[in-house]
Amino acid sequence: MSNVSSDGIPQWGTYMREIYLSGKGPEPLGTVVFEEIEKKAIEKLKDQPGSFLYSGGSAGTWSTYTGNTIAMNKFRIIPRMLVPCNNRDLRVTLFGVTYPSPLLLGPVGVQGTFTAEGEYAPAKAAAKLGVPFIMSSASTRSIEQVAQASGNGPRWYQLYWPRHEEVTLSLLKRAKENGFTGLVLTLDTMSLGWRPHDLERSYLPFGHGVGTQVGSSDPVFMSRLGRKPTDDIPEFPYDAVAKQKLLVEGDPAAKEAAQLGYAWLAEANFGFYRSWEDVKPVRDAWEGPLILKGIQHVDDAEMAIDIGADGIVVSNHGGRQLDGAIPSIYALESIMKSQKVRAAQKSGKFTVMFDSGIRTGSDIIKAMALGAQAVLLGRPWVYGAALAGQEGVEQVIKIILADLDVSLAQAGLKGVADVLGRADQILTKVDF
């Protein structure tokens, strides 16, 4: 973690000074610019066709992905001068727990196709820096393995909703027993989005048993298939072409992996849609915070309150699910106009978070000014992991939090508490 002030406040902005004083620039990534990190990740993964685009790609024409950035840039920060804002405080309290910043590592699947460390890289990096890590249901490591890598680090579990209640209950039991305190129920991925880049290559790691490790390690799910759970880790690098060749040739191991992979897809996110009434059994089974991810309409945000959810993540899945969807920041703006949402948030009974389009410290300020209490970061840390494993993820976290710290000072803000819900004073919207 960055230096700490005399009153115990982490000073993330000191990372900028550390880079200047090092005389050798930011290591190990060599840059603090998201676009440059992205380019380096593309180059690093060029010999693994489809790997980069699994995370970096988006649905349809990518209009939702690009719309997130365009819309974010239309909100502009209005700086104030001569404000004593030393020792800026980035700490936030979510569901009764205080964290060093409003940043969480959002859930991203099949990390084992990007780095040999798989989900261990973000889990260890997040734990080291005190940042909550949200584990994906599409991980290439089991719940138990990720928990062990995370150690005492804060961690939440993201659930792709199984068809069968007994499988759901088994996953929740494992998550709770392994120290995952928050449950993020993803609603916008009941089936995969229309992703031309994946369709062109028939790129589906799950079909080769990669990203199905949560399922293959689950005793209830595996018993339904007449099998015993396993804690096998996929080999790295993942070669989709070679795996498919083995499958076509009838390789027994490849056939078994494919059968298991498609069974897990059918169980978790291959076209089974739910209703609001279906949330109740999950709510009843999970003792900790229940957060609904993928909310984009104000009516759905209000419904989340009605059915007893503890919070939402306003998200369009980074543009990966529905082409032409509303930019996530506009969805947040609309939702936070609801008196019901604002009242529930103010009472402390409902937490609003945000993702899809966060790239800089200024983006975090904008989202928090509009009412988000925390933000989830996705692609940037994935690219950091692809380039340098755990150390790459650590640098990405330090970059964005240092940027946030410095940007707060430049805007004349004493900390994130000065930002929350004050869009009318902090932001303006431009049309260019």
First to last CA, the chain: 38
Q: Per-residue pLDDT averaged across 319-328, rounded?
A: 96
Sorted by sequence, the CB contacts under 8 Å of residue 106 that are 6+ apart come out as: 134, 355, 376, 377, 378
Arithmetic mean of pLDDT over the chain: 95
Q: How far apart are CA 296 and CA 299, in angstroms?
A: 9
So what's the pLDDT on residue 327? 98
CA dist list (Å): 422 to 77, 104, 370: 11, 22, 7
What confidence tens digit (pLDDT) does each residue in 31-66 have? 999 999 999 999 999 998 789 998 899 999 999 999
> Does residue 162 surpass a pLDDT of 70?
yes
Q: Read off the pLDDT of each residue in 321-332 and give the average, rounded to a whole number.
A: 97
Compute the distance between CA of residue 233 and CA of residue 286 in angstroms, rounded to an integer.
28
* Residue 416: CA count within 13 A, CB half-sphere: 32
User: Can 317 be counted among the known catalytic residues?
Assistant: yes
The answer to whether the beta carbons of residues 69 and 326 sit under 8 Å apart is no
| Cα 89 from Cα 401, distance rounded (Å) | 11
Q: Which residues are annotated as a binding site for glyoxylate?
A: 54, 160, 195, 317, 320
Query: Under a CB-based contact definition with an 8 Å cutoff, are residues 37 and 377 in contact?
Result: no
Beta strand extents in 68-152 (DSSP E only): 75-77, 92-94, 97-99, 103-105, 133-135
pLDDT at 6: 66
Q: What is the pLDDT of residue 2?
A: 58
Q: What local confidence, expressed as pLDDT, does residue 432 receive?
A: 81
pLDDT score, position 269: 81
Q: What is the pLDDT of residue 350?
A: 98
Residue 36 three-state SS: helix
Residue 5 pLDDT class (50, 70, 90 cuts): confident
What value does the mean pLDDT take over residues 205-223?
97
pLDDT in tens, 382-394: 999 999 999 999 9
Do the Cβ atoms of 315 and 292 come closer than 8 Å?
Answer: no
Q: Give residue 195's pLDDT band: very low, low, confident or very high (50, 70, 90).
A: very high
Give residues with Cβ within 8 angstroms of 241, minimum separation 6. 49
> What does the pLDDT average to over 349-364?
98
Going by the annotation, the residues of the binding site are 54, 107-109, 136, 158, 160, 186, 195, 293, 315, 317, 320, 355-359, 378-379
Type and span of the H or E element at 285: helix 279-285
Give exposure, 71-110, as e/b (b: 16+ Cβ within 10 Å): bbebbebeeeeeeebeebbbbbebeeeebbbbbbbbbbbb
Alpha carbons 221 and 263: distance in angstroms, whole number:
9
pLDDT at 1 over 60: no
Pairing between strand 182-186 and 103-105?
unpaired
Confidence of residue 10 (pLDDT cuts 50, 70, 90): confident
- What is the pLDDT at residue 185? 98
Model confidence at 190, pLDDT cuts 50, 70, 90, reads confident
